[in-house]
C-alpha cells in the first residue's frame, strides 16, 4: 500500500508530458493551423517581433515558469498558468518554449483537452496500480464522454490487477504462516525456506521484512537456550 501511495504523487508530474501528446492526438494541428508566412510587402515591425536569446539565468527562469504553468494547467488552474507564462514573457519575450506552452494549455482548456487529461491520469494510475486515482479520473471521463471505450478497457484492467494482487498477497501470507508454524516446532530450515519463498513473491513487502527479523530473533533465542 505504501508504494501505491507514493506513485499517486508521481502521477501528477508524469501526466503533464502525457497530456500534451494526448491532447494533440485528439485534435492537434486541426485546431492550431500553422501561421501564414509574411509576404515580402509586409512592413517589418519593431523589436516586439524579434526573438532575443536569453542568458543562462534567464533561460533557467523561463523553463521553471513554463514547467510551473504546465503543472498548474494540468491541475485545472488555467488562470494561474497564464500568469506564470506572463511572468516568463517578462523575463525575455517571444521565447518558443513559452509560445508552445500557451498553445498546449489552450488545447487543454477545450473539452477534448480535458478528456485527454483525465484519460492520461487514469491510464497512468492504472499502470501503477493506483486504483483510487484511476477511479477519480474515470469518473471525470464519464462526465465528459460517457461512451468513451477507454472507460470499460481501463476498468477491466483494474479488475484484473486486483485479482492478481489478491492472489499475490495470498501467496505471501501462506508462506509466512508456514514459516511461523516451522518456528513453533523448532524447524528453522523449513522456516528459512518458507521465508525465502515469501521474499521471491515480494521482497519489498514490509511483512516479509518484519518476518525476517522475527525469524532471526527466534533462531537467536533458540541458540541461547541450547
Residue 157 belongs to a domain: no
Domain termination site, one of 147, 179, 196: 147
Buried b (16+ CB within 10 A) or exposed e, 36-70: eeeeeeeeeeeeeeeeeebeeeeeebbeebbebbb
Give yes or no: residues 199 and 104 share one domain.
no
pLDDT of residue 223 exceeding 50, the answer is: yes
- Structure confidence by residue, pLDDT tens digits, 185-222: 999 999 999 999 999 888 888 899 999 999 999 999 88
5 pLDDT higher than 80: no
Instruction: Looking at the structure, tell me whether residues 138 and 173 fall in a common domain.
Output: no
Same domain, 78 and 171: no
Q: How many domains does the chain have?
A: 2
- 42, part of any domain: no
pLDDT tens digits, one per residue of 101-118: 999 899 888 888 888 888
Mean pLDDT of the chain: 80
Q: What is the mean pLDDT of residues 121-139?
A: 87
- Identify the band that residue 93 occupies on the pLDDT scale cut at 50, 70 and 90: very high
9 and 101 part of one domain = yes
Q: Which of 114, 147, 180 is the last residue of a domain?
A: 147
Let me know whether 170 and 129 are in one domain: no
Same domain? 81 vs 167: no
State the pLDDT confidence band at 29, using cuts at 50, 70 and 90. Answer: very low
pLDDT given for residue 37 in this prediction:
44
Residue whose entry in the numeric block shows the C-alpha cell 461512451? 147
Q: Is 38 contained in some domain?
A: no
Mean pLDDT of all residues in 78-88: 94
In the predicted structure, residue 48 carries a pLDDT above the cut 90: no
Contact 23, 113 (CB under 8 A): yes
In a domain, 40, yes or no: no
- Alpha-carbon span 7 to 125, nearest angstrom: 8
Helix (H) or strand (E) holding 52: none
pTM for the full model? 0.50
Same domain, 121 and 87: yes
Is residue 85 over pLDDT 70? yes
141 & 68 share domain:
yes
Residues 6+ apart with CB under 8 A from 16: 67, 70, 71, 74
Using the 3D structure, point to which of 89, 112, 147 is the last residue of a domain. Answer: 147
Nearest to 100 by CA among 59, 60, 57, 67: 67
Confidence of residue 50 (pLDDT cuts 50, 70, 90): low
For the residues 131-142, what does the mean pLDDT come to? 89
Q: Cell 525476517, residue? A: 212
Q: Which of 19, 213, 187, 9 is nearest to 103 (CA)?
A: 19
Same domain, 75 and 120: yes
**Domain co-membership, 12 together with 95:** yes
Alpha carbon distance 148, 145 (integer Å) = 5
User: What DSSP string runs through 119-159?
Assistant: HHHHHHHHHTT-HHHHHHHHHHHHHH-TT-HHHHHHHHHHH
Q: 127 and 188 share a domain?
A: no
Up-side HSE of residue 24: CA atoms within 13 Å toward CB?
Answer: 14
24 and 84 housed in the same domain: yes
pLDDT band at 7; cut points 50, 70, 90: very low
Residue 114: inside a domain: yes
What domain range is 204 assigned to?
163-225
Assess if residue 43 is contained within a domain.
no
Closest CA to 112 of 191, 9, 182, 30: 30
In a domain, 134, yes or no: yes
Amino acid at each position: 500500500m505504501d508504494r501505491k501511495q507514493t506513485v499517486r504523487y508521481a502521477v501528477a508530474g508524469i501526466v503533464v508530458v502525457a497530456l500534451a501528446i494526448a491532447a494533440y492526438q485528439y485534435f492537434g494541428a486541426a485546431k492550431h493551423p500553422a501561421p501564414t508566412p509574411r509576404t515580402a510587402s509586409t512592413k517589418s515591425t519593431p523589436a516586439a517581433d524579434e526573438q532575443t536569446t536569453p542568458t543562462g539565468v534567464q533561460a533557467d527562469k523561463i523553463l521553471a515558469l513554463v514547467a510551473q504553468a504546465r503543472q498548474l494547467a494540468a491541475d485545472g488552474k488555467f488562470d494561474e498558468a497564464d500568469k506564470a507564462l506572463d511572468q516568463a514573457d517578462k523575463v525575455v519575450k517571444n521565447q518558443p518554449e513559452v509560445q508552445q506552452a500557451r498553445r498546449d494549455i489552450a488545447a487543454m482548456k477545450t473539452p477534448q483537452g480535458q478528456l485527454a487529461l483525465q484519460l492520461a491520469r487514469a491510464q497512468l494510475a492504472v499502470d501503477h496500480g493506483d486504483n483510487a486515482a484511476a477511479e477519480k479520473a474515470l469518473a471525470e471521463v464519464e462526465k465528459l464522454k460517457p461512451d468513451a471505450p477507454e472507460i470499460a478497457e481501463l476498468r477491466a484492467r483494474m479488475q484484473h490487477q486486483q485479482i492478481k494482487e489478491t492472489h499475490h498477497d495470498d501467496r505471501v501470507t501462506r508462506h509466512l504462516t508456514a514459516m511461523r508454524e516451522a518456528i513453533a516446532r523448532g524447524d528453522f530450515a523449513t522456516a528459512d525456506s518458507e521465508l525465502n519463498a515469501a521474499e521471491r513473491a515480494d521482497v519489498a513487502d514490509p511483512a516479509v521484512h518484519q518476518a525476517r527479523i522475527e525469524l532471526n530473533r527466534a533462531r537467536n533465542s533458540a541458540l541461547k537456550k541450547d
